[in-house]
Chains A and B, each alone.
Chain A
Amino acid sequence: MNRLWYRILFNASGKPRRWTRRVVFRKDRSVRPLFHRLVYKRSGVIRPHWANWVAAAPTDVGADLPSAQELALRKLRPFEQTIANWRRAERLPTLITARQLIDRLKQLGEAASAGIVLAASHDNYREIPGGVQVCLQHEERAAVARHFAYLQFHPAQPLPCLAPAGEHRDLPVTLLLNGAPIGTAAMAELMAAVKHCVSTGRAVRFVVHHLLGHSPEALVELALAARLKDVIFWLHDFFTLCPSFTLLRNGLAFCGAPDAGSNACGICVYGPSRREHQARIAAFFRALPMQVVAPSQVTADFWLGKAGLPVQSVAVVPHITLEERPRIAPAPVDERAPITVGYLGAAVTHKGWPVFADLMTRHSGSGTRFVVFSSQRPGKGEHEWHHVHVTAETPDAMSDALTRARIDIVLHWAACLETFSFTTFEALSAGAFVLTNPGSGNVQAVVRSTGRGAVIEDVPALHRLFAGDGLARLVAARRARAAATELKVYRSAMSFDLPGWRQPWPCTLTQASPSAI
């Protein structure tokens, strides 16, 4: 370092001056992106002048400052407290009766001639953004196209757990009919309405997308009222295994759903409630003929290995499938374009935001562009931010935005097992490659099966890839492949892609043998 620069930055004893500390470092002592090149060599090694400060003096131990995980733990509250915080004090709207519900269904007339699809999920899929919600939007469209009434119901009181056991018939649920809100009713009224419809010869199908906030006991009664031969149960996540539906222990690390009596559950915020949760889920599965549907093979395999629940069958129905086709004429390639790395979705830890943010800090000065696509701007040093909101009406919003921004690489460093990962498919359909880790569930499975990206062992290996020429080689391969091929996207009609549902009513799924999984 130039002697003058050194005297400006450091005092006589070799410590960074106060202004240096403020300008170069953030409060958490991480280096601001602009100064990263100043502090670190290209290889990622700290330059000797900075070593004492960056690693905290003396250099043999870490800084006496809280880590990101420790800060996250500080915000963690006992689960019962979180549940209490979720409870709303506001009064319920006037509840609708079974009679009113029946009348609303009758008003659909021929548009519901094929019957009724009852869909249980956790929130208003028309208003709340998210992958599961988009799935329901697709399913609703498929149902309406087939002349079914799509009656979705979700808990009027959202909860991060099952509804309390006991008063399940009084549990209020908010109803959407073909996507339009029609009011809130007690579960008992919904049961009575469904019972009436069945008695008048209406066909009823039942799909469970999520149990959050629901009473499984009430759903059993509802299914019995509908005289169902089977219930479709979607594995959008692992709420059937633990209230922590991502299986993140204390919100920090993927736990793999060990035994509820394990040490891991013993120290986890969700541990104390897990046994009762599992018992209620098991009773739910025992009471009904479950046709379980997973959006990926990796999800089906993991769930079967852990759940131990009685099911009639397990099927795999991906939400999206991709077909690679050669381009008629190769697309032009700008080999001089800067390498562009994208992050899709909310800036949350379990989707790998801290890893992306760290990459930005360390490598943004090396010519690589970092771009974020989400509904909220993170503002943590990204070169660009694009507002993207995907709905059933705009299913290609993300992939179109990625294509426009010429994204080479999408980092999807999931901390938990992804059951499907829309963002991975959106990245691939935009011609981008995906970087992920071996524990990312369907993300790594798709990357391996398509060869579009790389599964990197761990974070240090990821940094080595960025510091060396590995990233450039990967991007060159991606650009060559994007020039020669394109991907055709096929979207699922959700439950209507199941074998029995493709045929005219009445029908039921045939019992699948294990080999069918």
Chain B
Amino acid sequence: MAVHAYTSFTFSYLNRARVLATSLRRQHPDWVIWAVLTDRAPEGFTFKLTSEPFDRMITVEELFGAETERWLFGHDIVEACTAVKARAHLRIMQETDVEQIVYFDPDIAVFNSLEPVIELLQSHSIVLTPHQIDPEPANAIRAILDNEIASLDYGSFNLGFLATDAGAEAQRFARWWDERLHDWCHDRRDIGLFVDQKWCNLVPCFFNGVKVLRDPGYNVASWNLSQRRMCFDAEGRALINGQLLRFYHFTKLGPVGETMTRRYAGDNYEIHELWWWYRHEVARFTDPAIPKGWWYYGTFENGDPIDKPMRELYRSRKDLQAAFPEPRRTGPGSFHEWLQVKRRAWA
């Protein structure tokens, strides 16, 4: 029996996924690591599993079959990569040797053993990590806005990490999650929805055996740095509030992530060192053959970008879905042409 881990990404995030898989492999060489790809390789680049730190891969086409293109058209890149997670989870559950399944966002790096999570799954079905585990002080207005109110908006638990066993309750959860994500994995905070994450606020209500892991060493990120401090002990072990750093979530690599990290890490320069290391690891694993921001499903066949309003329009109208079953196609009679005609008319 084995632990199966997976991550969901497009080729523009392959560098990050490689950092994740390499760091995970270092801690758990016996785990089976899956790459869940919601993308097709750009011209000039070949994804060879044997040269990658992943053991297996599965594509969105394999998970969603004939409806893939039509279904994906209704999602932007974040929605798409999160919407496939539940279907992939169910798929991996079908493996004969599977005992536990762990999901990681590709922008995570693992620093110490995750064996405690596997031990928790001996007595629990589902393990979730909250964005925050300690309340902000009442006078910390910006921190309350940035962290606690953001969690009310985006979800209590961070779905960059999820672990389940392969038992009946976990399967019941995965089936429910898959149903919701198939139809409702959207960034619609106006109706209280944020991709796959907000749904999981309901997990402790709907399912038994849910463990809310309140260990500061898990899922450390800018949204909880206000209450977490990193240091190294004499043995060189990375500690968060005195507990081993298990994994760090390097969310928003770039100016936004830098600003939020700076705001909450402050003089905790070990966090900045961690980021320095991550930036260079990502650079090391970056393949120049992959164009920046590449996503096969991000454009029409002729290369025109698919805007968010186009996606929202398509997914909201059954008539359009029926009329244009291949929405990425361009040319006469295509959804692309229909949009151009409409645009001219509105203008």
Contact = CB atoms under 8 A, between A and B. Distances in A.
Interface of A: 58, 60-62, 64-67, 69-70, 73, 76, 78, 249-250, 252-253, 255-256, 258-259, 262-269
B139 interface: yes
A440 B269 CA distance: 20
B236 A70 contact: no
Contacts of A62: 262-263, 266-267
B238 A67 contact: no
A70 B269 contact: yes
Interface residues of B, number: 30
Interface stretch (B188-196, B202-210, B270-278, B307-315): B270-278
Given A60-B143, A61-B143, A263-B111, A70 B234 contact: no
Interface string B229-271: 0001011111000000100000000000001001110110110
Contact of A60 (B142, B269, B276): B142
B224 interface: no
Contacts of B236: 255-256, 258-259, 262-265
Chain B CB count within 10 A is highest, among A70, A266, A269, for: A70
A149 to B, nearest CB: 44
Contacts of B269: 67, 69-70, 73, 252-253
Contacts of B272: 67, 69-70, 73
A252 B273 CA distance: 9
Q: Which 10 A-B pairs have the closest CB atoms?
A: A258-B236, A262-B236, A264-B236, A69-B269, A263-B238, A60-B140, A267-B277, A62-B266, A264-B232, A73-B276
B156 interface: no
B238 A264 contact: yes
A255 B232 contact: yes
Interface in B257-305: 259, 262-264, 266-267, 269-270, 272-274, 276-277, 280
Contact of B259 (A64, A266, A267): A64
Given A61-B143, A263-B111, A70 B280 contact: no
Nearest to B284: A78
A260 to B, nearest CB: 9
A375 to B, nearest CB: 29
B141 interface: yes
20 contacts: A60-B142, A61-B142, A61-B264, A64-B259, A64-B263, A67-B262, A67-B267, A67-B272, A70-B272, A73-B273, A249-B232, A252-B273, A253-B232, A255-B232, A258-B234, A262-B237, A263-B111, A263-B112, A263-B245, A264-B232
Nearest to A65: B262
B228 to A, nearest CB: 14
Nearest to B232: A264
Interface of B: 111-112, 137, 139-143, 226, 232, 234-238, 245, 259, 262-264, 266-267, 269-270, 272-274, 276-277, 280
Nearest to B146: A61
Given A60-B137, A60-B139, A60-B143, A67 B266 contact: yes
A254 to B, nearest CB: 10
A268 B263 CA distance: 23
Contacts of B280: 78
Contacts of B245: 263
B142 A64 contact: no
A269 B284 CA distance: 13
Contacts of A265: 236
B143 A76 contact: no
Contacts of B263: 61-62, 64
A267 B112 CA distance: 13
Given A258-B237, A262-B237, A264-B232, 12 more contacts: A60-B137, A60-B139, A62-B266, A64-B263, A65-B262, A67-B262, A76-B276, A255-B232, A256-B236, A258-B235, A263-B238, A266-B111
A267 B141 contact: no
Contacts of A70: 262, 269, 272
Chain B CB count within 10 A is highest, among A263, A264, A269, for: A263
Nearest to B138: A60
Contacts of A268: 273, 277
A263 B262 contact: no
A249 B273 contact: yes
Contact of B273 (A60, A250, A259): A250
A66 B262 contact: yes
A25 B138 CA distance: 30
Chain B CB count within 10 A is highest, among A60, A62, A78, A268, for: A60
Contacts of B262: 62, 64-67, 70
Contacts of B267: 62, 67, 69
Contacts of A266: 111, 277
Contacts of B270: 253
A147 to B, nearest CB: 48
A297 B259 CA distance: 45
A158 B243 CA distance: 42
Contacts of A264: 232, 236-238
B281 to A, nearest CB: 9
A221 B209 CA distance: 66
Nearest to A258: B236
B138 to A, nearest CB: 10
A267 to B, nearest CB: 4
Contacts of A263: 111-112, 232, 236-238, 245
Contacts of B111: 263, 266
Contacts of B143: 60-61
Contact of A58 (B142, B226, B238, B273): B142
Contacts of A255: 232, 236
A224 B262 CA distance: 55
B285 to A, nearest CB: 13
A161 B269 CA distance: 26
Nearest to B244: A263
Contacts of A256: 234, 236
Contacts of B226: 61
A366 to B, nearest CB: 25
B205 to A, nearest CB: 33
A148 to B, nearest CB: 43
A66 B258 CA distance: 9
Contacts of B137: 60
A464 B274 CA distance: 32
Nearest to B230: A263
A212 to B, nearest CB: 23
A72 to B, nearest CB: 9
A80 B215 CA distance: 37
A67 B275 CA distance: 14
A259 B235 contact: yes
A267 B273 contact: yes
A340 to B, nearest CB: 29
Contacts of A64: 259, 262-263
A431 B282 CA distance: 53
B224 to A, nearest CB: 14
A61 B145 CA distance: 12
A60 B141 contact: yes
A76 B238 CA distance: 21
Contacts of A258: 232, 234-237
A294 B310 CA distance: 72
B140 to A, nearest CB: 4
A31 to B, nearest CB: 17
A244 to B, nearest CB: 13
Contacts of B277: 266-268
Nearest to A257: B236
Nearest to B275: A73
A269 B232 CA distance: 16
A226 to B, nearest CB: 38
Contacts of B232: 249, 253, 255, 258, 262-264
